Every structure is written in structure tokens, then in C-alpha cells.
Structure 1
């Protein structure tokens, strides 16, 4: 039987603590290799650092910053695969103190910083999220980076296979974008191309999604839980009922009542569900959302990690029949101060996925709550 563990990832250096996380991914050196976590953070020095697993031990590496710049905000991280048999390569997107988009990326032999710029005449305000798009299952993966600009419109910086482009996604009709929620991709079947879905919260505290239908972009009003305006996002994932089924988006949000809600697609219609709160607690913030597969042929099960008003970690998870709340606690002698990132790790292609939830504690250190197999 497996068990939950806490592990102290420490700090980038003894003198530099963690201010915020900047994204997390898992790396595979080849399709049959174990997944290895990489967690990017913004240090108290306003530079990028990565905490990564080499297969035997954890390491901290200093990624620095774009020349002459400081890092002020995250956008997100993804891995890019140039083909089905290629190694995965991490890309971490951040916003500089000049309100431009930058990426720290691995080319296969070394790390590079690239200036992605901004949409013409605009500044980048904050990130919505990052996904990769595939034109078919054997095609190269292409990053799409969604951001909100200083005029409260959404833009996407995307790779077409030969160059980067900026595209104006606009705003929902008659509304202003207030806050990001998150991004995911959809496949209508395992052999289909991927379709991006970018969720945002508008000035009336409702959820909207900007999504690609295969030929054009659309804005759809997802509304809000009955009588409950939406305060902030808690994460977006896609759920698959079997390896041959279509993917279905789930967008988790926090209401102003400090409860968790989910807007989800059942295959025919969108629904809102009240996930409630951990017993006797309120939700302060969210850490991240993942889906877990117990094996290659299993369905995916969402796990949503949140911080309670007691500065402890909790998870709202689906066991295949019902939703459950579980108290994950906090590292010994510490409290959870700031949210981090959530990922799943797979020890081999046939293994169960194991959740890892990274958080920042009151000593500006990085800690992880992870599921260990026997």
C-alpha cells in the first residue's frame, strides 16, 4: 500500500529563498524512461531557479534571468517533444520587469533565454497558462502561451513549427478580462489533433473560455455556480473515461464563499458542481490540479490541491465513484504559506501515476507532498 510523504526540497541556496513557483513539468529522456520532476521557482533574488530530479537525487540549478532584467511573474512551464521517440525538453515562460514575455528553454544540450517580446504596442500583465499543441499524435509539439495584456485582452504567443507568432484572442463580448483561470487541451479521440481551451474570469466574476473548434476560435460564457461569483481559479485539467475516449475539460474555481467549485463537460453539456470545503475549514488558495491514472488502461481521476485557512494542505479527489476531501497536513514544524505546483510522476509507462504537490513554507523553502508506492 502506498502512502503520502512530505519532503523538504530546501532552497535554491542558503542565502536565496523561494518567492513563488514558476511552473512544473516531468521530463522523460526517452519514451520508456521514468518521468523526472522539474520545478521552476522565482527566487527572492528575482531570478529563475529549478529544482530537479536526476533519477537518484534532487538538485538546484540557477537558471538566471534574461540579460539586464529581473523576473516579476510566472506564466507557466511545459515540455516539448520534437517527435514521438524524442526526449522531452522543458520550456519555462516568465514575465520580465519590462513587462515582456521571456522563455528559458532546453535545446537538448544547453539552456537558453529567448525574448518573446509583446504584442505590438502592448505590455504583458499576467499569464493565463501554457500548453503544447499537436497536429496529430506523431507530429512535433508546439507551445501556445496565453497571457493577459495591459488593456485586459488575451493574447497567445505560439510556435507554428518555424517561427513564433502573436495572436489577439480579444475579450468575451461586452466584458473585460479580470483574472486568469487556466488552460488545457482537448482531443476528441486519441488520434485527433489537440485543441486549446483557455479559461478566464471576467469583471462580473463569471467564467469564460476561449477555445479552438478545429477551424476557428470561439468565446463561450460558462457562467458561475448558482448565486456564487467566482473569486479565482484553482486549475484546469482534461479528464478521459478510457484511453480511447474523448477528453473532457474540468475547470476548478474558488468562490467568494471560500468554497471549491468545478465547471465540467460531461460529453454533452457543461455542468457546475459544488465541491465544498474540507471539514470545518475554508479555502485560502489553490496549489494545482492534476489527473491521476492507476494504469495505462484506467480512466483519469482529478486531484485538486488547496490551502486551508489553517495554512495546511488539503486535496479534493475523485476515487472513481465519489469525491473525497483528505487532509494532507503540513511539513513538520512548518506552515504552508504560499501555493506552488502540482504534477504527476510515472516510474515507467505501465506504472500508476503518483501526485506531487509542491508548496512554499513560512521559511521561504520548497516542500513537496507526494504519493509513494510500496
Structure 2
């Protein structure tokens, strides 16, 4: 019978705990293969470690450090496919203790560290997120890493197919960016190119979007939920109602009232919706958001995972007609102390997508709450 399960992923080593997560992806070795989860973490040794599924069991791998540096913050993880029939190759972007951007990436046979530096005259302060962009459905995937610099401006480090570039995206007019939120891509039709959207929170606690219309970058003020200001982000996704439909962005945020809200595009207009809270609880922290597809031709259904003020995991999810809250409990005998990452896993090309939520417990171990099929 299908059910939610908790599993202890342990630590990178018996003496090295998990300090924070750095990103998570599902990897396909070929288009027909099953997806294999990879979760990247910053250990208590400030090194990058990966917890990954080899197809039969979970493994821990030490990915080390950029030369002469330690890791301070995450930016995020993506997979890159050079052609539609190629294997997916993981990339994880982090910020070093020299306030520069670094990538740990798989070339198909080995892992490499790459120094991406920083914009001229600036330091990298925080990560906003990472996406891959396709210029057409058959084009190579190109990574884009969005960050905030020390002057609280948005920058993008992007791959044009040959070289990496830094591009300044600035800040919203007459506003100061105070906090990152997340990134996604939007495709207007299945044969269209990807258009990146980067979301941030400004000093007046408004949600803003920096988005690409196909030729120009724009800033858009998405405001706030009615009567509430935006405290922090909870996740960004794009939703497809059918495989041939346009992708529609959804942004989940936490208000200062410790409730969940969503800002979403219906195809014509942006809306704010109050998602509320689990019964009798408030939201302590956010884990992330994903979409779930029950079959390859099914609609994508949003899920937002949060930690309640009772240190339990909760999901706010769409069943196809109604939003629901679900109590996922906690890791056996542990307290959920820090949020982690979320992803979906597909066992074969015809299978349903299964959600996985990774969290860090009070003993610095990595745990996963995952949906198992019979």
C-alpha cells in the first residue's frame, strides 16, 4: 500500500554531521532510466558532501572544497543535459569563504570544482537559486545561477553554450532587495524556449519578480497578500495543467503572521491566495515546493512543505480540486531542526512522480520523508 515513510540517511561520516543542505536533484542516466535522487549538503567540516541513490542503495560521497577555500552558503543544484538523449549531469553552486561563486559539477566521468568568481568589484552575498534554460526543446540545457551581491543587487552567472558570463540585473526601481526567495523557468508552449523568473523580497517586505520576456528583462512588483507583509520565501515552481499547456508560476511565501500564502498566475492575471496553516499550528520554517504528476499526461499538482511550530513536517498540497494540509509527523525519536530540500522521483517514464522531503534533525543527521508505492 502506498504511504509516507521516514528514513534516516545518517551523516556523511560518524564524526561529520550535516550543517545545512546545498541543493537536491533527481538524475537520469538516460531518458528511459529511473530517476536517482542526489542531495548535496554542507558538512560540519564546511566541505560539500552528497547523499545519493545508486539504484540499489544510498551512498555518501565527499566532494571536498574549492582549492584553498571553505563553503559558507548554498546557491542551489540543477541537472544539465547536453542533448535530449544525453545523461543528466548534476551541478551544485555554492559561495566560498572568499565570497565568490563556485560550482561542483559532473562531466560524465568525474567531479570538478570551478571558480566562477564574482562580478567585477563586488562580492557574492547570498544565493537566490539555479535553473537551466533551453532555447528550444532540442537545445542543450544551459545553467543560470542567480545571486545577491554585497550591494544588495541581483546578478546572474550564466552559460551561453561556450563561456560563462556575469550579468547585472540590478534592483527594483527605488527599492532595496533584502532577501532572496527563489527561481523558476516558464515555457509558454511545449515547443517554446525557457524564460527565467527570479523572485526576491524588498526592504518594504514586497514580493518582486525579475523576469525575461524573450528579449528584455523586467522588474514587476507582486505586492503582498491582503493585510499582510512577506516575511520569507517558501518555494517557487511552475505548474502545467496538461503536457501541452503553458507553464504557470506559483510562489509560496510565509507572512509575518506565520501563515502560508501563494502568489500565482492563472494564465492572464496574478492572484494572492491565503493557504493558511495546519490546524492549530503556525509555520516555523519552510522546506520547499515541488509539482507532482500522477501520470505522464496528468496535471501537475503543487506541494509546499513547511515545518510547524511543533517541529513537525506538514504539506500543503493540491489534490486536483482542493487545497489540503497533511501532517507528516517527524523523524522517529528526533526533532526537525533545520529545513532541507524537496524533489520528486520517477521510477520509470510511465510512473507517477513521488515526493521526497529532506530535513536535518537536532543530532545533525539527514532524514527523508518520502512517498512509497506498493
TM-score, normalising length: structure 1: 1.00
Q: Distance in 1 between matches of 2:341 and 2:286?
A: 9
Q: Find out whether 1:352 has 2:352 as its counterpart.
A: yes
Task: Write the deviation string for residues 216-250 of structure 1: whole angstroms up to 9, x where unpaired.
Answer: 00000000001101000000000001000000000
Alignment partner of 1:104 is 2:104: yes
Aligned to 1:10: 10
Alignment of 1:1-374 (within 5 A): 1-374=1-374
Equivalents in 2 of 1:332, 1:64: separation in Å?
30
Provide the C-alpha distance between the structure 1 equivalents of 2:367 and 2:135, rounded to a whole number of angstroms: 37
Separation in 1 of the partners of 2:183 and 2:40? 18
In the comparison of the two structures, how many residue pairs are matched?
A: 374
Runs of 4+ with deviation above 4 angstroms: none
The Cα shift of 1:288 comes to 0.9
List runs of 5+ in structure 1 lacking aligned partners. Answer: none
CA distance in 2 between counterparts of 1:118 and 1:128 reads 15
1:102 Cα deviation after fit: 0.2
Q: Distance in 1 between matches of 2:235 and 2:160?
A: 26
Q: Distance in 2 between matches of 1:285 and 1:65?
A: 28
Q: Distance in 2 between matches of 1:112 and 1:268?
A: 43
CA distance in 1, matches of 2:284, 2:150: 27
Quote how far apart the aligned CAs of 1:331 are. Answer: 1.1
- Deviations along 1:249-288, one digit per CA (max 9) or x if unpaired, are 0000000000000000000000000000000001011011
The alignment partner of 2:321 has SS state of: coil
Between the aligned partners of 2:127 and 2:107, the Cα distance in structure 1 is 23
SS of the counterpart of 2:244?
Answer: coil
Report the alpha carbon displacement of residue 148 of structure 1 after superposing the two structures with TM. Answer: 0.2
Q: Provide the aligned C-alpha RMSD in A.
A: 0.4
